[in-house]
């Protein structure tokens, strides 16, 4: 897991349960903006990428779920709603690169499992920015351990995530 990815926090976002991840990256805001907004780059670390421009009001059909872009303030903020749940990237310049904050309003999704998934995908961002590639398989190796930590930190039942891992991850992952 990338050292740049701190554990996410479970917070209240606009009155709803949400996850917040903050990453310190040694890359300029403009470079990180390209990684989070250009589909060919986004697909290198994110669970999927929409073929978007992105522009405010754009709606993308993903075959049963939609992405609606709700805010674009390049190169600082990109927000969208996916399957009714707001998600966003916020970028701020720092002395040694930039700070990226990713948020996802999760409503009734299992908090520990969802946080572990996002941490897994966000761990692939820094290698991508460095011109490397962290495979999905390698990124998922610590999934079970990270999930247990989230379940404990959030005080939630770890069983849903354990069941998901048993059904979806290889035994060694």
pLDDT of residue 170: 82
- List C-alpha distances in Å: 159 to 7, 9, 18, 40, 76: 20, 20, 20, 35, 37
| pLDDT tens digits for range 114-169 | 999 999 999 999 999 999 999 989 999 999 999 999 999 999 999 999 999 999 99
- What is the fold, at CATH topology level, of the domain defined by 9-168? Alpha-D-Glucose-1,6-Bisphosphate; Chain A, domain 4 (3.30.530)
**Cis, bond preceding 75 (omega within 30 deg of 0):** yes
Helix, strand, coil abundance in the chain, percent, nearest 5: 35, 30, 35
pLDDT of residue 47: 82
Q: How confident is the model at residue 18 (pLDDT cuts 50, 70, 90)?
A: very high
| pLDDT tens digits for range 78-124 | 999 998 999 999 999 999 999 999 999 999 999 999 999 999 999 99
Rounded to 5°, the CA angle 9-47-19 comes to: 15
């Amino acid at each position: 897991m990338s050292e740049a990815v701190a554990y996410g926090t479970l917070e209240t976002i606009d009155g709803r349960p949400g996850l917040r991840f903050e990453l310190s990256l040694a890359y300029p805001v403009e470079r990180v903006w390209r990684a989070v907004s250009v589909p060919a780059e986004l697909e290198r670390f994110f669970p999927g990428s929409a073929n978007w421009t992105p522009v405010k009001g754009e709606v993308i059909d993903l075959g049963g779920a939609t992405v609606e872009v709700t805010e674009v303030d390049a190169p600082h903020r990109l927000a969208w709603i996916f399957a009714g749940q707001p998600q966003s990237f916020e970028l701020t310049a720092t002395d040694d690169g930039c700070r990226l904050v990713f948020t996802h309003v999760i409503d009734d999704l299992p908090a520990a499992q969802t946080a572990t998934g996002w941490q897994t995908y966000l761990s692939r961002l820094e290698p991508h920015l460095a011109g490397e590639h962290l495979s999905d398989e390698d990124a998922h190796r610590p999934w079970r351990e990270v999930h247990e930590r989230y379940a404990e930190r959030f005080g939630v039942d770890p069983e849903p995530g354990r069941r998901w891992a048993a059904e979806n991850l290889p035994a060694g992952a």
